[in-house]
Every structure is written in C-alpha cells, then in structure tokens.
Structure 1
Amino acid sequence: MKLVQLLIVILCVQFNFSQSKNQYHISFENAVHHEAKIQATFSDLKTDTISLRMSRTSPGRYALHEFAKNVYDVKVTDSRGKKVMVTRSNPHQWDISGHDGTIKVSYTLFADRGDGTYSQIDETHAHLNIPATFMFAPALKDRVVEVTFDPRKDLNWKIATQLFPVGNHKYTAPNLQYFMDSPVEISNHSLKAFTVQSKGSEYTIQFALHHLGTEEEASTYFEKVKKIVLQEKEVFGEYPEFDNRTYTFLACYMPNVSGDGMEHRNSTILTSTRSLAKEGMDRNIGTVSHEFFHAWNVERIRPKTLEPFNFEASNMSGELWFAEGFTSYYTGLILCRAGIISQEKYIEGLARSYNYVWNSPARAYFNPTEMSYQAPFVDAATSVDPVNRGNTFISYYSYGSMLGLALDLSLRNYKDYLTLDDYMKLVWQKYGKAEIPYTEEDLLTTLREYTGEAFANEFFTRYINNSQIPDYKTLFANFGISIVNNPKKVYFAGVPIMFKSNHAFISDYPKKGSPAYITGLDKDDVILRINEDVITDEKQLSEVLKKYTPGEKVAITYKRLGVEVKTEMAFTAHPDIETKLLQNASKEAINKRKNWLKAK
C-alpha cells in the first residue's frame, strides 16, 4: 500500500512539473516613476492565434475598471525572439498570430493608486492587485500560473501574498481565477502571526503591516486583530479551510495610499492614510472586522451570480444586501463582542445607518435586491455626468446591515433560542463549507428551515421583496434600547451646504420631500440670507437655525446663475433619530442585550 501511495505522489509531482504553465516576471527598477517592467511567456500553444487581455474587473469589486489604459511599450515575439503579428480587436485585447507555439510578451505598467482594486508602485512599495497588473490569456485560464517577483533589495522589500511560495521569490497559483484573486504587497513590512485551532486543524493567521509607526503600535493593533479573528470564528463555529493553511492580512497604512478594504479567498487588502499613531488605531480596525468576515460570507458563502467571476464584464448580483450588508452588520457587532468598542458606543453608532437608510426617498424606487443590482454603477465606478443617487440609491452595505440587525433582533424576540449567528451557521454548512453557490431563494429556503415558513415568508415579503421599515422601536425596546428624536430641531433643507469664500453653496441635489426640494432650491444655488440673517459660515448657519422651530416659514434669498432670487420655505422637524441605552431597562431586556452583545 505504501509503495502505491509513493507512486501516486511521484506521478502527481511529475505531472505538475511537466504541464504547461503561464509564466510571469515583474521588476521595479523605475519605481520612482511608478513603473514596473513585466515579461510573460505562454508556451505549448495549440492554435495559430492566441488572445491576451487586460482585465476590466477585479475580484471583490462590482464595477468596470479599464486596466488596459496603464499598459504601454508592448512587445511580442516567438520563442526565438522573432516578432509576430499583433492586432487589436478592442481596447483591452491583443490578438497574436504567426507564433511558433510560444509567445513572449513584455510591457511597461504605470501604477499609482494603492487600494483594493488598483496597483501602486513607488519607492515605498509595490502594491499589486493582479488584474490591474498582469495580462492573461482567457483560453489558458485552467493552466498553473507561475510568477517571479524581483523585489528591490536596496529598499529591503519582502513579499506578502496568498500565492503559493516555491522559493527564490517565485510563487504559483493553480489557475487564472486564483491568480487574479491573490493580491501582493512587496515592501519593508513587518510580519506578525498566530495560530488558531478549528475542528482538529491548525491555521496560521498572518498580519503583514506596512506603515510608518512603531513596533509597540503594531503589537497593540495586532492584539485587536486577534480578538476579531477569534470572535468571528464563533459566529460560524469554525474557520474555513484556508488554502496552504494560512490567511494573510495585507495592511498598508501609508500616506500615499487610498483608503479601502478588499476581501480575497485567503487574504485581504487593508489600506488607509491614517497611521496607527493617530486615530488609525480605532478607525482602521472596523475594516479588519469587515474583511475577515468575508472569508466566510462572500468568499465561500458565495452568490451564484458572482460565479464564475467575469474578467471581461461586470457580474450583476441581487444578493449583495446579504453578502455585503450582513457582513456590515457583523462589522460593528464583532468589535463590540471583542471588547474593542463598548456596548454604549455600539448602540449609539446604530443611528448613523438607521438615519441614512430609513430617511432615504430611494426606497420608493428599489427594494434591497434591486439596490444590489446598482453595484456596477456605484462600487468605485466612475462617470462624468451628474447622477441623482441621493434620491434613488441606498448602499446595499448599509441597507443590508439594517436588515441584518432587524433579523437578528426579530429572531431573538420570536424564540429565545433563535439567533442570526445560528442562521449564518446553517447557511455556512449548506453552502459555504461545501462551496455551493447560493441564490436569494436559497436564503429564504434556509430561513424557512430554521424558523418555519410563516416567519421567513413574512420577513422576505416585507423587507427583501418590498421596502417596508421594520418596527425598530419595539425591537429595540425589548433589548433595553430607545429611539430618541428631537421634535424641536429644524430640518433646514435636506441638502449638504459647502462654504467657500464666505458663500454657502448647495453642493448636491436636494433630497426628495425635504424643505429645499419642495421650495425649488437646487444644486449650486448660493444661500445668501435666511430672513435677514446673512449666511457666511457653518457656525453662523447653525446659530441662525436655532431661532426657528418646525412649521415656521422663513424667507430664503439665494443666487442662481448670478441672479438673486427670494422665496419662502417652511421648516420641518429633523427626521434623524438617536439610539441610546435605556437607563431603566427591565432585567429581561438587559439579559437579552447581554446575550446578543457579549463575547462568544
């Protein structure tokens, strides 16, 4: 038996070494000017014409990104260095013919945005998102990928990635999908790690930190990361089976990056301009909580609409209210359970999403599923024409977070032993652990299995298929939480005001139904006076508004396109609420709240 096993191992190794690979090499001699030099070799080609592409999308993002625009000085030869024919059928593709079974490609990449989508190259690091960096051959998507990084020794660069190390700065991926999903941080970073246990298996959790802070700050922050990793495991009951038994955080807290977080199968990118020395210690940690939760929810509990991930067009998914939104709900909840924020701070923080979601006029146009469909237009997407998103869109992150909160509290009120944690465990066992992509109908079916048909059908009918507001006042009261509003506070306009050169500009389109909308004010109008009070700065505006109560009418003088206009506006009560812990909550409510928010 042992001899047979040995022969199988030998055959597998021989097959791995003999099969054709897509090979890359990347170097950074001109990092000071944000350039990388990339060579690629594609061999054993069976057709006369082979197409190479730059991706238009990036795993974890839902919008299009035209990465080909940063590629230039493209040269293509056969195995002997002879130039071959290259034609361009579209802006993202190079069609190559007349080769001898092998093509060698070289090109220059310009990269200067460090976040979860793009790449950034300078003398602090090479921050590489693979779709933004490497050409690929769609026809060869099932081949093993081998990439050699040439880190700058003079800058003490080291490599951190979920790709599989081979040695001598060489890494592999089993196929194109895994390769594209594997970001790389090459820098003079520190690396901290600890081991976790799960169902008899041991995994290493690594934290690669590129920052300008101290070792003491890094150690303090890493302790917070550990608490999050441990608490999130309790939601699902186990860790995923991380490939190579390792999960890697790629944290880059540098002044030259752009703030972001992006999940991947066995790693996540965390970028922020906030250093750990300042408010970054508290403000960056929420992204850690959010992105690590994605190791279960999105990376393995995965919507069918995201499979397979399309590198040539955007995937449209109606389940992002669950994939992103429920993850957002757990983001703050985990920080509370881990003791990183207090119960009081967590409860008070719920009001932000509540006010944004439930005071939005957009619910009249789209339910949570339809809001999810908007992702290709809003997820770091760019366009030059103005949009009316303030009136038509609610982020599926926030919308889903509020629905996750409502479902969790509703379950706990319905029956004492029901919780969202256990529902997530059931979804994990059915779809995530088995890596069976789910549909929205599967989420409903699973909730029916967990709670019974009546509860599940009502929740989906009211809040997912429609846009009704859950009865938060009753739900909160059962957990010793109150909703507080200020009926005397006036709602000025329903528009953001920007002050510039002592002028008060309306900087966005008025919210439908707001005093400004009803009055006919619009974006770019300049508010000159409220009654006889001249408005020149934010403090002055705040003081003027204190004079009035809801229901009062005032004269508004504004300027539009250089013409001064006078109109009348009626103030209404400000719709925003606050969420607070009840001081006189019942013992039962306090116990329910404790069971909800305590460490697991």
Structure 2
Amino acid sequence: MKKLLLTAAAMLSAATLFAQNDIYYSFSFPHPEHHEAEVGLRIGGLESGPLRVRMSRSSAGRYATHEFGKNIYNVKAFSEAGTPITVKQIEGDVYEIANHGASVKITYTLFANWTDGTYASIDASHAHLNMPAAVLWAEGMDERPVHFLFKDLDKNGWHVSTQLKAEGNDAFYAPNFQYMMDSPAELSASKESSWEVSNPDGKKQGIHLSIHSDDGQPVIDNFAKMVQKMVLEEQAVFGELPAYDFGNYTFLDDVYPANDGDGMEHRNSTCIVHMLDKVEGNELKMMSTFSHEYFHSWNVKRIRPKSLEPFNFEHANMSNELWFAEGFTQYYGGLVLVRAGFHTSEEYGQTLAGLLNAVLNQPGAAKYPAVQMSRYSVFADAGVSIDPNNNNNIFTSYYYYGGAIALALDLRLRADYHLTLDDYMRNVWLTMGKVMKPYTIPDLQKVLATTTKDPKFAADFFNKYVYGIEKNDYTALLAKAGMVVRKAKPGKGWIGNIGSAVSRSRSGQVYTVETDGVTILNSTALNSPLYKAGIDAGDLITSVDGSSITSFVKLAFLAGAKKPGDKISVTFKNRTGTHNTTIEVVENPELEVVPIETIGQQLTAEQADFRKAWLTSKVK
C-alpha cells in the first residue's frame, strides 16, 4: 500500500509539473468597437535567466514578412503575486524580462482592424483572430501545451469557431506552439452547419461550416450542401480524407463588404474572408476559395515542403516548391468545381485561359522558371514594402505558373500513359503526405517516375518545365479534350498591359487620371509597344493621334480600335519634358480557351470521351 501511495504521489507531482509548464492566454474585449483586446499571458515552470517574448514577423500560409509587433502596446509583466516586473523592449517586436521567478504574467493591448487571412480584426460584431497577429509568444517553448480562455463572449453575443480543441467553459487547447500558430479563431454570432464524411476504412470525421454574415440559417445550410459536394470530389482525388486532429475540420468564413478578400489554409481548418454583402446570391463566386483552401488540407498542410518545415515565425519563409504547393492546388481548385457540376466546360475554359495567359504572355515566365518564381514569394506574398517593383517584367505568380504545369502534366498523363494527375497526387499523398515526410523537388520527380514507370519522362518534364523555362504545347494538349486555344481579340490593337489584372499595383490601380492626362503607375510590360516607345511608370500620356486623353477607357479604346501594324502618335510627359513618339500597334496577345463545339466545329467521340474522363465527377 505504501508503495502504491508513493506512486500516486509521484503521478500527482508529475501532473502538477506538467500543468505548471503549460502556457495560458486570456482574451477579453471590454471595448471591441475600438478594435482593441486585452490579452493576458501566463508562463510557468521558468528557470533562471532572461525570458524573451516576441510577436511574429510571418504567418502560416504567408511567405513574406509582416510587422505584427506594431499593433501591441501597454506591455507589462508581473510576478505570480502580482508585483510589477521590468520589461525591456530590445527590438521592435521582442521584449525581455531579465529578472523573474518561476512564473510570469504578461499583459498587453492588441489593436486589430484588418479582416483577412493574415491579420486580425476586432469590432462590435466579432473578434477575428489570426494567432501570429494576436499573440506574444515565448522563445524556446515550442513543445509546451497552450490554453486559451476567451472572455466577454456572452456580453458580446459571440461563440467561438476554431480548430483549437474545446475544453469547456470558453476554454480551448493547442498541443504545442506550431499548432497554436496554425489555429485561427472567429468569435462572433456566426451560423453553422455540420456533417460527417466517411473514409474508405469506415472512420467518420466531422466537417463544420461556420459563417459570420448577415444571412439566415437556411442560406448557410444550402451553401453547406454545395461545400459537401466539393469536399467529396476532393476526397475522391486522394482516395481519403486526412486524419484531422481531434476528428474535425472547420471552414471559417467572414463575409462583409469592408473585408479584404482572402483565403488561408490551416491544418484542420481554413480562414476565408469575402468582400461581399452576404452569402445569398454569391455562392458560386465563393466556392472557388473554398475549393482551393480545402485542397490545402492535403497539399501544403500534410504534403509539406521541407523548406517550410517547421515554419519559422521570426522572418520570411522561402520555398522552391510553391509552384506545386500553391500551383497544383490552384489547378485542382478550379477542376473539382467542374467535376462537382458547379461550372460548365465553357466556363472552365475561362479558368484555363487565365493559366495560359500567365505562362505564355507574361515576361516573367518567359525568363524565369517556376522554382525561381516560388522563391520570389518572400517579396510577392502581400509583403510590407511600399516602394514600386518591376513585377510586371520579372514575376509570374507561382499559383498560375504551377497551375499551368499541373494542367499540362494531367493532360500528358492521360494522353500518353493512361494515367491521370489524380493518380500522381494520390501517390504523392501516400508516399509523403499521409506519413508527414517533408518533400523536396527531387522527391516529387521520383514519385512521377514511379507513377509512370518512366524515369526518363519524369526527368525530362522536371528539367524542362520546373527547373527550366520551356513551355508545354497547350494547344495540342487541350485539343485532345476538344478545347480550342485561340486569340481572345483577334485583329484588335494592343499597346501594353496597362489596366490588366496581371499588372496591378498594391493600391489595385495601374494608372491614375489627372486633368491633363493619364499617368502610368506600374512598369510597362517588356517588349510591349509602350515599353519600346520608352514610356514607363510615372509618365503622363496626354494625347493619342492629337486627341486629348482624360481617361484610361479612352486610351484603351483608341488603341483597341487600331489594327496590328497601324501606327499612332503619342504625346507624353516625364521629368525631362514633353515628348512626341510613334507607337506601332500589335495584335492583342490575350488567349482564350473554348470548347470546340461552341465555335461551330465537331466534337469527335474520342475528344468527348477524353473530356468526360477529365472533367466529370469522380465520386462513387
């Protein structure tokens, strides 16, 4: 009996020590209308020596640097007895407590007023918390369990939606630092709809849709049925759902016109933000983000690039593999919506055209490979710099670059090997994702070689289209499915990509109208007529063929009215004075992809079978 009592005492002592080593956060919202929260952080089990706590400079799913530290203030520290302790700010986002006891309580005020997938926002309607933007964290304590207590929920009429594990009484749990930082929380009067999905082994998992919007419950329930169809199509690609931690996956969506649209993947959830007035009437528009982000629960969160494992929250995270992690996800995001019946093959042609225009008409893709474009994410992925860049000429989004590579690989596997990209993705999942083995690009090539039983093809494909800048013959590949690649505006004049979606500035504009002309804000595209004429960002176009220019619409109209080979006279100003030049108009290079039968040609039986195998539902 004595021995048993000693054992019990030892167990109690161990349990007490474990609890002391846990980290505890509390969030209260006394005045949410002013976009502030009061945050408390308790850290126990401390040894002697300085304690450093800091804010993050990056966020899971974002690859550039962010300055979250600017939005916390009133940082104070106290002993367990409540005695104030000196806190020294040693960097903009790093604080040090040199002298402390076995435990420390830290408090601070969080300001949050930007609703997207990266930052945090607080107002009278909700607290939208992305953890890297919201929590001070202690260095060197990555394996400690973390607990959250959210206060003032009843007062504000909120409940909590999150992938954090519920502990009861408004308390939640994360097993470690990385899980905490990957767990957004939406505190609001959101409406929810839930269902279960079974894997082939019979195991069921809960899928939850939580939407903060001005819609009624029937609208949310109806939208949930659409999301269910998408979930099943993506399950069919891989053959199974991932084993979600705690058996649940949660879609978080905030819908409001003043939001900044975004989607951010997490291990067992996704944080989606829509710039819409409500869900009703916008369901199809919203599905593209849901489709893309849910695919990430396999590709990125479990099929994990070694370069992002573990994710470093102190600086930007560079990866060679985003053409696959984001780009292949981009491809499937559109494909599964066709398979689920939400888009027609004609509508899907518009999606495919976006991929083709990115890789065939943008200067960046002509000069740089997909691997290099992936590395540029540390500058391109919503970073904090405000000075102009030359992205029009040196960058092509790894989303579209990788999406075009995925399209070509899918069509080539179907045509040449009687395989599909689904087969390849399933093998990548089983080889690396399901067992959480971080991958490198050679690993992806090896799986392609194994899938096709053709190492020569795999090496050739990666060398040309991933490491190299060669482009697949999309016209020939899409023709096998009865899809025609052609000029979108044949015979129409074009002088450059001012005003196009691929050349937006941070403000969303590419020109500004002044009383005496139109100012170009971004770099003009390499080898475009404007570029060859020496016109670039900052220049003011005042007239075309003697007609004054007072709007971008007029500038685009005058150029589009010309035929390729026509010449127009342009007057423009810059800091060296007023200049007159002649520009030779070229044909608009924009491409479109259309089903062959929509342009009066015959869809063959072979093409119809190919398209059906590619675009129809895979749910059994």
Give the TM-score of the pair, scaled to structure 2.
0.92
Aligned partner of 1:113 in structure 2 is 114
Supply the AA of the counterpart residue of 2:25.
Y
Aligned partner of 1:25 in structure 2 is 26
Supply the AA of the counterpart residue of 1:544.
L
Aligned partner of 2:73 in structure 1 is 72
Aligned partner of 1:507 in structure 2 is 521
Q: Give the whole-Å Cα distance in 1 for the aligned partners of 2:227 and 2:17.
A: 38
What whole-Å deviation, never above 9, does each CA across 1:549-600 have from its counterpart, x for those lacking one? Answer: 1112221122334943211111111111111001212111110010000001
Q: Give the whole-Å Cα distance in 1 for the aligned partners of 2:16 and 2:366.
A: 56
Name whichever of 38-47 and 501-510 sits farther off.
501-510
Q: Give the whole-Å Cα distance in 1 for the aligned partners of 2:365 and 2:289.
A: 27
What whole-Å deviation, never above 9, does each CA across 1:81-131 have from its counterpart, x for those lacking one? Answer: 222232333222111122121111111111111111111011010000111
Q: Give the whole-Å Cα distance in 2 for the aligned partners of 1:12 and 1:44.
A: 16
Asked if structure 2 preserves the Cα contact closer than 8 Å seen for 1:151 and 1:158, the reply is no
Structure 1 residues 437 and 212: alpha-carbon distance in aligned structure 2, compared to 1, 3 A threshold = same
Aligned partner of 1:345 in structure 2 is 347
Aligned partner of 2:287 in structure 1 is 285
What whole-Å deviation, never above 9, does each CA across 1:437-477 have from its counterpart, x for those lacking one? Answer: 00011000111111111211111111001011100111011
Q: Give the whole-Å Cα distance in 2 for the aligned partners of 1:271 and 1:145.
A: 26
Q: Per-residue deviation at 1:281? A: 1.9
Q: Per-residue deviation at 1:341? A: 1.2
SS at match of 1:251: strand
What whole-Å deviation, never above 9, does each CA across 1:495-534 have from its counterpart, x for those lacking one? Answer: 3363625633323211001000001111232322222333
Q: Give the whole-Å Cα distance in 2 for the aligned partners of 1:385 and 1:536.
A: 26
SS at match of 1:140: coil
SS at match of 1:258: coil
1:549 aligns with 2:563: yes
1:220 aligns with 2:222: yes
Supply the AA of the counterpart residue of 2:276.
R
What whole-Å deviation, never above 9, does each CA across 1:32-60 have from its counterpart, x for those lacking one? Answer: 11110011111111223211111111111
Structure 1 residues 319 and 67: alpha-carbon distance in aligned structure 2, compared to 1, 3 A threshold = same
Supply the AA of the counterpart residue of 1:325.
G
Asked if structure 2 preserves the Cα contact closer than 8 Å seen for 1:250 and 1:270, the reply is yes
SS at match of 1:256: coil
Aligned partner of 2:274 in structure 1 is 272
Structure 1 residues 48 and 501: alpha-carbon distance in aligned structure 2, compared to 1, 3 A threshold = closer
Q: Give the whole-Å Cα distance in 1 for the aligned partners of 2:608 and 2:318.
A: 42
Asked if structure 1 preserves the Cα contact closer than 8 Å seen for 2:494 and 2:560, the reply is no
Aligned partner of 1:313 in structure 2 is 315
Name whichever of 212-221 and 47-56 sits farther off.
212-221
Name whichever of 316-325 and 483-492 sits farther off.
483-492
1:592 aligns with 2:610: yes
Unaligned runs of 5+ in 1: 1-6
Aligned partner of 2:385 in structure 1 is 383
> CA RMSD for the aligned pairs?
2.0
Structure 1 residues 228 and 16: alpha-carbon distance in aligned structure 2, compared to 1, 3 A threshold = farther
Supply the AA of the counterpart residue of 2:592.
E
Q: Give the whole-Å Cα distance in 2 for the aligned partners of 1:361 and 1:107.
A: 47
1:397-408 mapped onto 2 (5 Å cutoff) = 397-408=399-410
Q: Per-residue deviation at 1:546? A: 4.8
Q: Per-residue deviation at 1:215? A: 2.6
Q: Give the whole-Å Cα distance in 2 for the aligned partners of 1:444 and 1:12.
A: 52
Asked if structure 1 preserves the Cα contact closer than 8 Å seen for 2:524 and 2:531, the reply is yes
Supply the AA of the counterpart residue of 2:285.
R
What whole-Å deviation, never above 9, does each CA across 1:15-41 have from its counterpart, x for those lacking one? Answer: 488442111111001111111001111
Asked if structure 2 preserves the Cα contact closer than 8 Å seen for 1:326 and 1:404, the reply is yes
Structure 1 residues 555 and 165: alpha-carbon distance in aligned structure 2, compared to 1, 3 A threshold = same
Name whichever of 557-566 and 33-42 sits farther off.
557-566
Aligned partner of 2:547 in structure 1 is 533
Q: Give the whole-Å Cα distance in 1 for the aligned partners of 2:467 and 2:257.
A: 43
Q: Give the whole-Å Cα distance in 2 for the aligned partners of 1:224 and 1:449.
A: 35
Q: Give the whole-Å Cα distance in 2 for the aligned partners of 1:282 and 1:501.
A: 38
Aligned partner of 1:372 in structure 2 is 374
Give the percent of matched residue pairs that are identical in Structure 1 and Structure 2: 38
Unaligned runs of 5+ in 2: 1-6, 500-509
Asked if structure 2 preserves the Cα contact closer than 8 Å seen for 1:494 and 1:517, the reply is no
Q: Give the whole-Å Cα distance in 1 for the aligned partners of 2:553 and 2:140.
A: 61
Structure 1 residues 315 and 562: alpha-carbon distance in aligned structure 2, compared to 1, 3 A threshold = closer
Aligned partner of 1:294 in structure 2 is 296
SS at match of 1:296: coil
Supply the AA of the counterpart residue of 1:340.
F
Structure 1 residues 232 and 145: alpha-carbon distance in aligned structure 2, compared to 1, 3 A threshold = same
What whole-Å deviation, never above 9, does each CA across 1:386-414 have from its counterpart, x for those lacking one? Answer: 11011000010110011110110011111
SS at match of 2:84: coil
Supply the AA of the counterpart residue of 1:495.
I
Supply the AA of the counterpart residue of 2:586.
T
